[in-house]
Amino acid sequence: MPALTTTSDGFLLHGEPFRIISGALHYFRVHPDQWTDRLRKARLMGLNTVETYLPWNLHEPEPGTLVLDGLLDLPRFLRLAQAEGLHVLLRPGPYICAEWDGGGLPAWLVSDPDIRLRTSDPRFTDAFDRYLDQLLPPLLPHLAANGGPVIAVQVENEYGAYGDDTAYLAHVEEALRTRGVEELLFTCDQANAKHLAAGSLPGTVSGGTFGGRVDEHLAALRAHRPEGPLFCSEFWIGWFDHWGGPHHTRSAENAAADLDRLLAAGASVNIYMFHGGTNFGFTNGANHHHTYAPTVTSYDYDAALTESGDPGPKYHAFRDVIARYAPVPDEPAPAPAPKLPLTTVDLDRRAPLLPHLRTLEGAVGSADPVTMDELGAPTGYALYRTTVPAAGDGLLHFAGGVGDRAQVFVDGASVGVLERERHDETLPVRVPYAGATLEVLVENQGGVNYGPRIGAPKGLLGPVSFQGTALHGWECRPVPLEDLEALPFEPSEATSDAVPAFHRGTFEVDTPADTFLALPGWTKGQAWVNGFHLGRYWNRGPQHTLYVPGPVLRPGANDLVLLELHATTGTRAQLTDTPDLGPENHS
């Protein structure tokens, strides 16, 4: 029998009345050395439960593999949650959305152009079943039935917004049950009649997702299920940001008033997000409704805990609300964590990107460009190279466009940029002589995480022509970024730069602490500290600093590497004690 059961209007935990007061905390968006701190702060706010998605694409990066270490050491996260006295809601997907690269679906899976994602297509369900065969055995000891903290597991994720294949949902439910998951199962859908009807399963709890209009949405949940617990499975207290868009915020007073309405109605709740964290590396997703819009590196979400784990205004407001309905620990609210003093980093060594790539082996030859998926490069960058047989002025045409952003070079000189979000397919260029070299550096800015375009290919998406004549004979290569130590850095005294290049500098730290990397004068690229991939920066904003977790720093000398794709007007970076996520846009 599961530890968590339902009554006509609520939950029982081990037979006693229980209300879920949960907050979302994604282990894979938080440095593992900070998990204990974040979980303690969840308990001190009054939460009795934390919720997390599981990103399939990271846990199974190649078919048949399983990664459960570092940022992905979920068993350790579950042990720490239990040690803090917290219950856990697990959301294993297969699809998670989460503003995460590809919605969590592995690139090797979605690279099959004919696969019918999130349906009963056996290519999809068999792959998920094999993943569960590996994933669940190390997790089963952490289920409540076996003495662990996990009291409920989600089936799929907001499926009613995507499809209506009830047999598929039933397959996911059965896949969990037959592999030893005895705990209560729940679904999660936007709280309207259509989505709830398409995304729910008999015998499971129907959770609703919403951020406001509490009475209306709870009424929709009750109309859908006349009996059982009212459960807001995602109570949206902030929002995420896209590059070039506003920084979204929501006032603490407004969010706390809606939390009060939820709890006053007797509902259980999962606050999304309690602590958002960071899309480290190449993990951010993108939306693509009418226009492609990639998500920024920060997943601060204007959550109760800031991106760096400090209590924000919502933390204190929510703690006061929760105390009216449930016990809150009689301990002081946490103070902000110490920050590194202002530090300037001189990036005085340089390694140009394109000349370095030309020396590497491993290029794939093809008549026409191949996608990044076909190159085995699910994230990052790819370089395409050929020669142009004719000289003169003309249009360079990219049939099918680019995924997602392409910098074009003729004989090493930049001649323009194409962007998926602008639907660019042509670029006017001047080719100085017949046989000039054409290079196209393509950036995957994040896999679509919501809607029918999940799995959209990256790279050059069709043949390329100049003056109407197709260009053939391409060298296509992924850009390797795993071993930055192997880059041919040389001292540089230049005060500016205008070609894609790696830049490196060192800085001293007395006592490691959280800090924020500011890059005034830099344009667009990636940043690493001591080999830890912080993620993407872009002067387009709204985000203008990258969070550097204290645990990635060390006493003494530390290393900063930037891959700058365009130009820099200086050679310095700053580590500051204040994040800059953009001017606030209250919603």
Tokens of 161: 């917004």
Active site residue 216: no
Q: Which residue has the tokens 């290029």?
A: 363
From 169, 163, 300, select the one nearest 580 (Cα to Cα): 300
Query: In terms of DSSP bridges, do strands 459-460 and 402-403 run parallel, antiparallel, or are they unpaired?
Result: antiparallel
Q: Collapsing DSSP states into helix, strand and coil, what is residue 91?
A: strand
From 106, 43, 178, 90, select the one nearest 447 (Cα to Cα): 106
From 525, 512, 513, select the one nearest 561 (Cα to Cα): 525
One of 60, 158, 439, 564 is an active-site residue; which one? Answer: 158
From 273, 327, 329, 330, select the one nearest 305 (Cα to Cα): 273
Residues in the chain: 587
Q: Which residues contact 507 (CB under 8 A, 6 or more apart)?
A: 343, 344, 345, 557, 558, 560, 575
- What's the gap between Cα 92 and its chain centre? 15
Task: Classify 44 in phi/psi space as left (phi over 0), alpha (psi -120 to 50) or beta.
Answer: alpha
Say which amino acid occupies 561: V
One of 60, 84, 156, 234 is an active-site residue; which one? Answer: 234
Tokens of 170: 């039933």
Q: Are 79 and 142 in contact (CB under 8 A)?
A: yes
Q: Are 341 and 511 in contact (CB under 8 A)?
A: no
Active site residue 584: no
How deeply is 510 buried, as exposed, middle or buried, from its count of CB atoms within 10 A (0-12, 13-18, 19+)? exposed
H or E element, residue 134: helix 122-139
Strand locations in 177-250, DSSP E? 184-190, 205-210, 231-236, 247-249
Say which amino acid occupies 363: A
Distance CA 102, CA 284 (A): 9
Whether cis (ω within 30° of 0) applies to the bond prior to 17 is: no
Which residues are known to be catalytic? Answer: 158, 234
